[in-house]
């Protein structure tokens, strides 16, 4: 039996699903802003300031995309654990306090 009350578990699941939806929108927006995905973009001898701006946008897209991907993976892992009935426990089976999960529903470790 889980140490997390059922209503709290549902609240955490809803929070995870909402976060996932927001992150998917962020990833979509970041991808749309990435110059690499611009079909009208030409790889030519553009002015140095244009090249620098594009390189910065590409770098930003890669960094944000990686961070969003990592956060989505944590959310998916938490949702999977909810479905399996193992949510709220560390890998070695210790209970993660409900307060910690309310602060970070993707928490998978204990705070020492």
Q: If you average pLDDT over residues 98-106, what whole number do you get?
A: 97
Asked whether the predicted pLDDT for residue 104 surpasses 70, the reply is: yes
49-53's contacts with Cβ under 8 Å and 24+ in sequence apart are none
DSSP conformation letters of 59-84 = HHHHHHHHHHHHHHHHHHHHHHHHHH
Query: Residue 49's pLDDT is what?
Result: 65
What is the gyration radius of the CA atoms in the chain, in angstroms?
Answer: 20
Asked whether the predicted pLDDT for residue 71 surpasses 80, the reply is: yes
The model's pTM = 0.81
Asked whether the predicted pLDDT for residue 96 surpasses 60, the reply is: yes
Q: If you average pLDDT over residues 35-63, what whole number do you get?
A: 70
- Superfamily classification of domain 6-38+45-103: DksA, coiled-coil domain (1.20.120.910)
Asked whether the predicted pLDDT for residue 10 surpasses 80, the reply is: yes
How much of the chain exceeds pLDDT 90, in percent? 63
Residue 1: HSE in the Cβ half-sphere, 13 Å Cα cutoff: 3
């Amino acid at each position: 039996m889980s140490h997390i009350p059922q209503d709290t578990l549902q609240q955490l699941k809803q929070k995870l699903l909402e976060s996932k939806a927001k992150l998917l929108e962020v990833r979509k927006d970041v991808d749309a802003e990435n110059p690499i995905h611009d079909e009208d973009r030409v790889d030519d001898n553009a002015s140095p300031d244009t090249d620098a701006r594009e390189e910065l946008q590409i770098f930003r897209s890669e960094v944000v995309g990686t961070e969003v991907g990592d956060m989505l993976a944590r959310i998916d892992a938490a949702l999977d654990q909810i479905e399996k009935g193992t949510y709220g426990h560390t890998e070695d089976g210790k209970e993660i306090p409900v307060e910690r999960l309310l602060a970070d529903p993707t928490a998978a470790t204990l705070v020492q």
